[in-house]
Structure 1
Amino acid sequence: MQKRLANFDLDLALNVTESTLGILGGSGAGKSMLLRCLAGMESPSKGQIVLNGRVLFDAKSGINVPSRDRRIGFLVQNYALFPHMTVAKNIAFGLPKALSARQVRQRVEAQLAAVQLQGYGDRYPIQLSGGQQQRVALARALASEPELLLLDEPFSALDTHLRSQMEQEMVTRLRTFNGVSLFVTHNLEEAYRVCQDLLVLEQGHAVAYGAKYDIFERPGLLGVAQLTGCKNISAAAEIAAQTVLAGDWGLPLQVVDSIPDRLAYVGIRAHQIRFTEHANQCNTVPCWLVSTSETPHRMTVFLKFNTQPDHPQDYHVQAEVFKEKWEMLKQKPLPWFVQLDPLRLMLLEA
């Protein structure tokens, strides 16, 4: 499928089975446009869209099935509930016209029960909390028994507590959903919890597509490593068998993975940098604390290798440690020692 856009072309070919596919990418990468094309809200420039053997779009044949006939549920960021309609009418909005009034009522009641909003059918969206609105929007998306469910940043409008609660409810619904679901999010941890597989988009193209474990552990490309949250990346070059020089860090590093011919960078995730008492271990280096950044449960510590820092921005890497470990670590004299585990180092192409 191709779609010509202002700054780039959306050009994708993918085959998704009955699971939840997470879609990651920077702003403007084409994530929402992909969903709009699938839903029939936008028309691709070229290619096909086929759902369970039904051709929804074919540029050559002139086939372009209207949105209402595609059997696709779509949950958008702001839920798009109709303010002048009751909850029941919102849920019933996308149901087939051929259904009887009794069938419509039964489906609406079943969806209200599924999202734990029995008795809310006569209320209006303005009378609901953010979490309740999200449940109604999900109920509406699933009421028509779609074959494909599109979720575009479904938790972005919720506060932290509700996000966690709604995420668990969404995971439960997706487990029983007999179809394909695509989940667009900017939240890396959210994608990891909800999805089994990931598609990483950059400028309208797939730069990674596969199991989430593989993509996070071995991203392969600089852009994929950055989009999946790797904060520590250095220019790198091969200097010997299974050894690379991390130029920005001034470190020779032993690696386990085969060194790619087009090696350009080496990276390690902040939570995988390990503090150690054993200075003679492989890839172990002395470091000085430059600064810290605190979250409720973790400390991010900014470190400089081999020499003391000259100013607050003079650091090489950042490491994440739990508060309990930090309380012990900060008592120890500098320099500390960290190990960049060869098993955790990611070798990246540009």
Structure 2
Amino acid sequence: MSLEIDIIKKLQGFELKVKFNIDNNILGLLGASGSGKSMTLRCIAGIDNPDSGKIVLNGRVLFDSENKINMPIRERKVGFLFQNYALFPNMTVEQNIAFGLIKSIPKVEKANKVKKKIIDLQLIGMEKRYPYQLSGGQQQRVALARALVVDPEVLLLDEPFSALDEHLRNNMIIRLKEDLKEFNGTSIFVTHNMEEAYQLCNNIIIIAGGSIDAIGHKDVIFNNPPTLYSAKLTGCKNISKARKVEPNIIEAIDWGCRITFGYEIEGNVTYIGIRAHYLEICEEDEVINTFNCWVVFTSEALFRTKVYLKFSKPIGDEKDYNIMWDISKEEWDLIKQKPLPLKIRINTDKVIQME
């Protein structure tokens, strides 16, 4: 199974220009709203057409502007799970699932295909229900059954969890991951939620303003995002402008400190970052890359505390801070009684370097 994309489409305010190849796995398209993620899916499905380029699925040319090929939607063997599920309100569950099947299929074969998906997606007993009689999770499973009943070669999922509450979303991510194990094809999962992308996908493409900003295995993208945009999008809260002052020393300009690495730094580093949960409290004196920090203010979530720190003593009630530390409430309860300044270590193994 393989999908090759090389397309250009002019959109309002920017040009969508994406080129990538994927095989039999789950690819995540991660990006902010309006970056071109959903339009990429629509072009693959044939709902919208690129201005130019080529789309090839398992050797079949779905679209080729140069050779004037534009395969009809029903012939593309593409399953599409829309963001709002797009179920027909006047159709029952089994009618919604059967809708995507071509009319020429014999009634018995069509009924058997629908029945199999009802069993596979655990929808038994709901066949005669209408969408308004289903929960959000049940509606999603009906939409997924409709996408899979056509035996697609590629499955496109456009932010399928955006309409679900947090508890149901977590359950449905687990459920969808199990369902996709049975799908012997390529899947593309569009989201702006990094945790969803990490849980479901093997490889990640980050799209910014219609162009590919970063591409690679999810662990590489999340642990070492190559650009400022990809670092921010994957949740890095602590980012500073940077410059190399020695072969192994980087000055974090916005933090007002210098960080020493145990090796010679390659390339021209312009930004560095560290994720908020990677900061460390240090009990020992004179440990390399350990800095005196003063607490400016804190912000409590349900189970965690965000501690906003400054590398110099704050003046009065100023709220200006250099770096944010994200720790459990239990850990903060043990630390907050310590005298200031706190000794905070920046582990260079966790520092993100961006050119």
With over 3 angstroms needed to count, the CA separation of the structure-2 counterparts of 1:71 and 1:309, relative to structure 1, is farther
1:141-220 to structure 2, matched below 5 A, reads: 141-220=147-226
**How far 1:199 sits from its partner (Å)?**
0.1
In the TM superposition, residue 313 of structure 1 has moved relative to its aligned partner by 2.4
- TM-score of the superposed pair, with normalisation by structure 1: 0.97
Q: Deviations over 1:240-288 (max 9, x none)?
A: 0111100111101013576353321111011111122123222110111
Which residue of 291, 295, 308 maps to 1:285?
291
Question: Are the structure 2 counterparts of residues 95 and 289 from structure 1 closer, same or farther at C-alpha, using a change threshold of 3 Å?
Answer: same
Task: Name the CA distance, whole Å, in 2 between partners of 1:319 and 1:23.
Answer: 29
Is the partner of 2:306 in helix, strand or coil?
Answer: strand
Aligned to 1:78: 84
What secondary structure does 2:348 align onto?
A: coil
> Corresponding residue for 1:89?
95
C-alpha distance in 2 between matches for 1:99 and 1:146: 16
Asked if the contact 1:19/1:196 (under 8 Å) is kept, the reply is yes
Deviations along 1:169-210, one digit per CA (max 9) or x if unpaired, are 100011221111011111111111111110001111111111
The equivalent position to 1:338 in structure 2, one of 341, 344, 347, is 344
Q: Is the contact made by 2:35 and 2:207 (CA closer than 8 Å) also made in structure 1? A: yes
State whether residues 244 and 268 of structure 2, in contact with CA within 8 Å, keep that contact through their aligned partners in structure 1: no
CA deviations on 1:300-348 (whole Å, 9 max, x unpaired) are: 1111113235435211111111122122112222211111101111111
Kindly indicate whether the alpha-carbon contact (under 8 Å) linking 1:282 and 1:341 is maintained by their aligned counterparts in 2: no
Residue-by-residue CA offset, 1:121-166 (whole Å, 9 max, x unaligned) = 1110011111111111111111111111111110010111110111
Greater Cα offset, 90-99 or 47-56:
90-99
1:49-104 per-residue CA deviation (whole Å, 9 max, x = no partner) reads 00000000000111111111111111111110000000000000001223211111
What secondary structure does 1:343 align onto?
Answer: helix
Change beyond 3 A, Cα 1:258–1:131: farther
Q: Is the 8 A contact 2:247 2:264 kept in 1?
A: no
Paired amino acid for 1:200: I
Q: Percent identity?
A: 48
Does the 8 Å contact 1:18/1:180 carry over to 2? yes
CA–CA separation in structure 2 for the residues paired with 1:198 and 1:142: 23
Secondary structure (helix, strand or coil) at the match of 1:12 reads strand
Q: Is structure 2 residue 128 aligned with structure 1 residue 122?
A: yes
1:100 paired residue number: 106
Alpha-carbon separation, structure 2, partners of 1:239 and 1:96: 66
Q: Distance in 1 between matches of 2:142 and 2:260?
A: 53
Where 2:146 maps in the other structure, the secondary structure is helix
Q: Find the aligned partners of 1:328 and 1:269 in 2 and give their Cα distance.
A: 21
Match of 1:67 among 55, 58, 73: 73
1:4-19 → structure 2 map (5 Å cutoff): 4-19=10-25
**What is the count of residue pairs matched by the alignment?**
349
TM-score (norm 2): 0.95
Report the Cα offset of residue 7 of structure 1: 1.2
Report if aligned partners of 2:238, 2:323 keep a CA contact under 8 Å in 1. yes
Tell me: CA distance 1:240–1:74, structure 2 relative to 1, closer, same or farther (3 Å). same
For structure 2, the 5+ residue unaligned runs are 1-6
Note if contact 1:200-1:208 (Cα within 8 Å) is conserved in structure 2.
Answer: yes
- 1:241 is matched with 247
Give structure 1 stretches of 5+ with no counterpart: none
- Aligned with residue 54 of structure 2, among 48, 65, 69: 48
Residue aligned with 1:132, SS: helix
Q: What secondary structure sits across from 1:154 in the alignment? A: coil
Moved more, 170-179 or 303-312: 303-312
Aligned to 1:327: 333
In structure 2, do the counterparts of structure 1 residues 279 and 145 end up closer, same or farther at CA, with 3 Å as the change threshold?
farther
One-letter code aligned to 1:129: S
User: Pick from 263, 270, 275: which aligns with 2:276?
Assistant: 270
* Comparing 208-217 and 94-103, the one that deviates more: 94-103
CA RMSD, Structure 1 to Structure 2 (Å) = 1.3
Query: In the alignment, residue 317 of structure 2 is paired with which amino acid?
Result: H
Contact 2:308 2:321 in 1 (8 A): yes
The separation in 1 between residues aligned to 2:201 and 2:163, in whole angstroms, is 20
Distance 1:207 1:130 in 2: 33
